[in-house]
Amino acid sequence: MDELRLAGAKAAGIWADHLGGVAERPVWRPVPDGELAWLTGQELPETGRALDDLLEDTRAHLLPYPMGNGHPRFFGWVNSPPNPAGVLVEPLAAALNPSCAGGDHAGPHLERTVVRWLAGLVGFPHPPGGGLLTSGASMATVICLAAARQRAALADGWDVREEGLSGRAPLVMYVTGEGHSCLHKAAQLLGLGARYVRTVPVDAAYRMDVGALRTMIGEDVAAGLRPFCVAGSAGTVNSGAVDPLDEIADVAAAHGLWFHVDGAYGALGVLADGAAPHYAGMERADSLALDPHKWLGVPVGCGCALLRDPGAARAAFSLVPSYLVDENAGELGWFAEYGPEQTRPFRALKTWATLSHLGRAGVKELVEHTAALARELGAMVERAPDFELLAPVTTSITAFRHLPRAGGLDALNRAIPGAVQSRGNAFLTGTRLGGRDALRACFLHPETTRADLEVLLDEIRVAAKSL
Ligand SMILES: Cc1ncc(COP(=O)(O)O)c(C=O)c1O
């Protein structure tokens, strides 16, 4: 253990230097050929290597080539910097190394608290056992949609786990074209069939057109199909749009549909001053996906599925073989009964540490700071003759495009993110929005400043000139 103690002290210095120096290094740089060969071509050592050597290799060959999301000028996708409290305790989770499948030990008990805190933060109802931590929102979505699928089947007098889907009226789900791909992946994985995931049109602000939703449900019922779920977004990845959740909840209630909300990125936006009206109805959902590893900055990976009726997830997943029976499990049983994972990592520790370190006020401040940056960039873009704002700013994402010339704007804006990234001063990614190639900047870093926004627009201008 002396070797671990010494190496651990050294590791603490390495990660402190790394995090402390992030802003001085390029946001991102490509992995050079020599390093790529080292990373991909190593042979498994015949005999074990010393801990100190592993640290030296990590320092020399890994830390210089990050994805970039620790940097205050990283604006790509939805990837946050790690909260220091989360970084601090992550090695301790590894040192304990439990499986949080269930049982009477620290991990599962702390997970109950963390899930309750997350639900409380965003105002989601929380019955005992009403949620679990996952690898991310993709897995949370699988859990929520599986619960929805089983509830619909049981309501119709059959059991999807026993019978499978064949021979039954197709189950239909509704989501806008702005809904995250994980909703489609989950639906496909659950055997629903991509053709039964309906694309509901959006309005000019990229929010679900609820009138169209009503019409589509009516048509599907008339065609003998079985509408069972509508998935709204509380913060789309393209533009940060929040669907009209209250109206969707009304439709779901009227038609007996499961109402799922993808708040993986944006649910916490409800904490910003004045934002609550946008989120009205989120608390009416049957399930809510909310990722601690996004806006909160919990080190990857930690998602969360929140469930109004935990029994629905248990009905979809519980399968307890004799070797896992736990007479002392209590009424809620094990977490492993609510999702597909059996051995589950100790995700609660880094999430508890992050939430405790920030406190409710700190979370609100982080959300408000980053949302204000997105609004400020939106205003700058609107003032600039060579930029155009493409969507209202509701969370902490600004969707826009560069128009330094008249033609070829799609090709230009498609090429800009790569050109900006390779300069190393800022990092943003693109998308397609309303049929046009767009740029989008997502703000999640507590240390991003208004000056960084100027840098971003200048970087885009310079990069565009080189294209
Ligand atoms: C809005 C939204 N939903 C779902 C997901 C999927 O989450 P994860 O990558 O944690 O599985 C993402 C990921 O960026 C997202 O932004």
User: What is the structure's pLDDT at 397?
Assistant: 98
Query: In this structure, are 61 and 99 located in the same domain?
Result: no
224 CA → ligand 1 middle, Å: 33
pTM of the model: 0.97
Q: Which residues contact 134 (CB under 8 A, 6 or more apart)?
A: 140, 143, 302, 303, 304, 305, 339, 341, 347
Element (H, E) at 361: helix 347-383
In the prediction, which pLDDT does 229 show? 98
Same domain, yes or no, for 154 and 25? no
CATH of the domain at 341: 3.40.640.10
In a domain, 401, yes or no: no
347-399: pLDDT as tens digits: 999 999 999 999 999 999 999 999 999 999 999 999 999 999 999 999 999 99
Q: Could you tell me if 337 and 212 lie in one domain?
A: yes
* 428 found inside a domain: no
Whether 130 and 189 share a structural domain: yes
Mean of per-residue pLDDT scores for the chain: 97
Q: What pairing do the DSSP bridges indicate for beta strands 429-433 and 387-389?
A: unpaired
Q: How far is the CA of 264 from the centre of ligand 1 (A)?
A: 6
- Asked if residue 62 and residue 121 are part of one domain, the reply reads no
Instruction: State residue 454's pLDDT score.
Output: 98
**Could you give phi then psi for residue 330, rounded to 5 degrees?**
80, 180
Mean pLDDT of 316-321: 97
Question: Is 366 among the domain residues?
Answer: no
Q: Are 148 and 32 members of one domain?
A: no
Query: Is residue 248 domain-shared with residue 137, that is, in the same domain?
Result: yes
Domain assignment present for residue 217? The answer is yes
124 falls within a domain:
yes
- Among 300, 327, 354, residue at a domain's last position: 354
- Rounded to whole angstroms, the Cα distance separating 147 from 143 reads 6
Domain that holds residue 40: 2-67
In a domain, 389, yes or no: no
Tell me the one-letter amino acid at 456.
L
Task: Say what the pLDDT of residue 12 is.
Answer: 95
Rounded distance from Cα 329 to ligand 1 centre (Å):
32
Residues having CB closer than 6 A to ligand 1 are 77-78, 136-138, 180, 182, 235, 237, 262, 264-265, 291, 303
Nearest CA to ligand 1 atom 12: 264
Distance 254 CA to ligand 1 centre (A): 29
The predicted-structure confidence for 189-222, as pLDDT tens digits, reads as follows: 999 999 999 999 999 999 999 999 999 999 999 9
DSSP conformation letters of 214-261: HHHHHHHHHTT-EEEEEEEEBS-TTT--B--HHHHHHHHHHHT-EEEE
Please report which confidence band the pLDDT of residue 120 belongs to, taking 50, 70 and 90 as the band edges.
very high
pLDDT at 1: 72
Q: Are 236 and 261 in contact (CB under 8 A)?
A: no
pLDDT class for 320, splitting at 50, 70, 90? very high
Domains of the chain: total: 2
Q: Which pLDDT score is estimated for 221?
A: 98
Based on the domain organization, do 114 and 31 belong to the same domain?
no
CA distance 205 to 359: 33
Model confidence pLDDT, tens digit, residues 127-146: 999 999 999 999 999 999 99
- Residue 425 has a pLDDT of 98
- 348 and 206 belong to one structural domain: yes
| 324 within domain boundaries | yes
pLDDT over threshold 90, residue 7: yes
